Amino acid sequence: MSQAMGLKAKLGLNVFIADQDPHIRIKPGQEADPRLKKAIIVCPAGLYSENPEGTVVLSIDGCLECGTCLLVCGSEVLEWNYPGGGTGVQYRFG
Ligand code: SF4
Whose Cα sits closest to atom 4 in ligand 1?
A: 63
- Do 80 and 23 touch, CB atoms closer than 8 A? yes
pLDDT above 90 for 44: yes
Q: What is the pLDDT of residue 1?
A: 45
Domains present along the chain, CATH in parentheses: 22-90 (3.30.70.20)
Q: Please indicate whether residue 64, judged by its CB atom, sits closer than 6 Å to ligand 1.
A: yes
- Do 57 and 48 touch, CB atoms closer than 8 A? yes
* Cross-strand pairs, 78: 26
For residue 53, how far is its CA from the centre of ligand 1 (angstroms)?
Answer: 22
- 73-85 pLDDT, tens per residue? 999 999 999 999 8
Q: Of 1-10, 34-43, 82-91, where does mean pLDDT reach its minimum?
A: 1-10
- 19-41 pLDDT, tens per residue? 888 999 999 999 999 999 999 99
pTM for the model: 0.87
Strands (E), the chain: 15-17, 24-26, 48-50, 56-58, 78-80, 88-90
